[in-house]
Amino acid sequence: MVRTARKIVYDEIDEYIDGLANRGDPALQEVEAQGLREDWPIVGAAEGSLLHVLARSIHAKRILELGTAIGYSGTWLARALADGGELITVEHSTDTAAIARRNFEKTGVAPKVTLLVGHAQTLLRDLKGPFDLIFNDIDKAGYPEVLDPCIERLRVGGLLLTDNVLWKGDVARRDKSQETAAIRTYNERLAKDPRMIASIVPLRDGVSIALKVRE
């Protein structure tokens, strides 16, 4: 089923926020331009800079990203790492991972990045925590399956960030697609989890910011 394009906020507000967003240096701007030109699902500058701010605010030294795409969000996260830090990022497509590797080289963060190829649900089993920050942006139908493994691998005081949690507003409507149901389940489980305090920011397609407060 094709989703009807909807906006979370008014177009003029969305454009205003995007117009003020920090876009990084020319190398990162090139990756953003590639994402827009080739229609990749990148997070965009406003969200990318939010990820960067949040990672820096907790002095993240170990970050896990699920869903690399072409390396745009990964660059924002890797550039926020504390000295000696590492970003582990997971991409299910070999071809897409190759593009991301080139972009990590272009943006100068490749020495900080370990890129794993495979399905997040499978690779998570072998990834050991704790992580300071986890960014979840995989295929939406897989969201519920990775929630508990992500929380378990997050340190107390760490952040679980999740993209597309409003899904063009469909989570609040009677849409019955598999993706919508999965995101709604993920949001509800995260909201009720006693280990976490979560809030949804209506930026772009909705960003969930969740703090782990106890084991």
Instruction: Give the contacts of 181 (CB within 8 A, at least 6 positions apart).
Output: none
pLDDT value, residue 6: 56
Q: What are phi and psi of 104, to 5 degrees?
A: -65, -35
pLDDT at 176 over 50: yes
Do 100 and 69 touch, CB atoms closer than 8 A?
yes
Residue 95 backbone class (left: φ over 0; alpha: ψ -120 to 50; beta: rest): alpha
| Three-class SS state of 61 | coil
pLDDT average, residue stretch 189-215: 97
pLDDT at 4 over 70: no
Give the pTM: 0.95
Alpha-carbon distance 136 to 163, whole Å?
Answer: 6
Lookup result for tokens 């701007």: 29
pLDDT average, residue stretch 196-200: 98
Q: What is the pLDDT of residues 58-100, one digit of tens each?
A: 999 999 999 999 999 999 999 999 999 999 999 999 999 999 9
